[in-house]
Structure 1
Amino acid sequence: MTVALPLSPDHLLDAPLDDLLAETGAEIVDSQIPDRDFFGAVVRSKNGHLLLAMPTGRSELEHDTVARYLLAQVFDVDLPKLPAPFVTTEL
């Protein structure tokens, strides 16, 4: 299934995460970054595939929230900024 763009905030926040990942062509992979202040990153491969690099050992709520927020950043979905200590940087 492909995602209908633009991706709405309601769909981004309400769809089951597995469905959202399938729709957007994204995959969650374990990150090897040990920094406690690292919450996740998006890597777009040369073929356009999205990888969400997420640290292991975090709560399900944090994992779900950060994955959705990273997808919102990639697909330019208008969501409120996350509170500190969450900061996003685009490289």
Structure 2
Amino acid sequence: MSLALALSPDHLLDAPLDALIAETGVEIIDSTITDAAFFGAVVQRKTGEVLLAMPTGRTELEHDTVARYLLAQVFDVDLPELPAPFVTTEL
């Protein structure tokens, strides 16, 4: 999934997360998935709305890092892969 908004890697990594969310129009929602191995998901609705479904109870660092990585996936920003055990799957 890739949307047409040009984000540079530097901007994606350096801008405050709240500013990135506002800029991209993406909404972060709490996920009901409680599996410890689940760190987040991108959901694109038929309306075109993009949601980041993020688990609750994670550290601020985990939340911020995964949200930025998912945004990179959505907007086709070239970032290095996350280290193991993180894996992304596109359905």
What's the TM-score bracket when you normalise by the shorter of the two chains? over 0.9
Partner of 2:16: 16
Give the number of equivalent residue pairs.
88
Structure with the larger RCO, 1 or 2 (CA within 8 Å, 6+ apart) = 2
**Structure 1 position 45, deviation (Å):** 1.1
TM-score (norm 1): 0.93
Partner of 2:31: 31
Separation of aligned partners in 2, 1:37 and 1:5: 30
**Which contiguous aligned blocks of 4+ residues in structure 1 show a shift greater than 2 angstroms?**
none
RMSD of aligned residue pairs (Cα, Å): 1.1
Partner of 1:79: 79
- Post-superposition Cα deviations, 1:24-57, rounded to whole Å, max 9, x if no partner, equal 1111100001110000000011121111000000
Unpaired segments ≥5 residues, structure 1: none
One-letter code aligned to 2:71: L
TM-score (norm 2): 0.93
Unpaired segments ≥5 residues, structure 2: none
